[in-house]
A and B are shown apart, each in its own frame.
Chain A
Amino acid sequence: KAGVTQTPRYLIKTRGQQVTLSCSPISGHRSVSWYQQTPGQGLQFLFEYFSETQRNKGNFPGRFSGRQFSNSRSEMNVSTLELGDSALYLCASSPQGAGADTQYFGPGTRLTVL
């Protein structure tokens, strides 16, 4: 099976712009989660989608949003970009989104905000 894919791999934006990141989960996986990784804050949970519904949300401002499509693909959007949004954004998929499920991570999208 193909792994989790994320596009684009690298992105450079300027402050105030918005950005959309895409994630294609492993075939058959219904849960997609997003994480932000920064040197200062480490790995932080953004949100999880299951069957097109946001099931869980981390402690991020409303500028961070996401959605999931009927084929389980997911996108996340960040509006009004700030310098602090520069990070590696990781997407992970799992079969059922259960706590014991293994989450399979994509390679990430490296976002740089100038």
Chain B
Amino acid sequence: AQSVTQLGSHVSVSEGALVLLRCNYSSSVPPYLFWYVQYPNQGLQLLLKYTSAATLVKGINGFEAEFKKSETSFHLTKPSAHMSDAAEYFCAVSDQDAAAGNKLTFGGGTRVLVKP
């Protein structure tokens, strides 16, 4: 079974500083990888996804992530944090096996606090 690990359940950054959220997956076959963001009392919104194309993926709101097969990682970064980035971020994977449909397995989430 797939599993996803997000290192750090809470991250605090200063406005303007680098945001780095870590995600590692466990799978011998690279899955499809996603980063979602959740604002309070809302559903999840896709930031970006990796589907076997370019290993450096650019998403919305200035976020990007790099797929590293050798490290089974898909870390999310943003060069300069903004107050509006305060939210909870989830890394998720889905299987490339068509029979698995599009079931997402999520990491535990990382809550980002942005300090002025």
Contact = CB atoms under 8 A, between A and B. Distances in A.
A46 to B, nearest CB: 10
Interface string B38-53: 0001111110010110
Size bin of chain B's contact surface: 20 to 34
B102 A31 contact: yes
A50 B101 contact: yes
Contacts of B46: 102-104
Contact of B109 (A42, A45, A99): A42
Main secondary structure on chain A at its contact with chain B? strand
Interface of B: 31-32, 34, 36, 41-46, 49, 51-52, 90, 92, 94-98, 100-109
Interface of A: 4, 31, 33, 35, 42-45, 48, 50, 55-56, 58, 90, 92, 94, 97-108
27 contacts: A31-B102, A33-B104, A35-B104, A35-B106, A43-B90, A43-B106, A43-B109, A45-B104, A48-B101, A56-B103, A92-B104, A98-B101, A98-B102, A99-B32, A99-B95, A99-B96, A99-B97, A99-B98, A99-B100, A99-B101, A100-B32, A100-B49, A100-B52, A102-B34, A102-B46, A107-B42, A108-B42
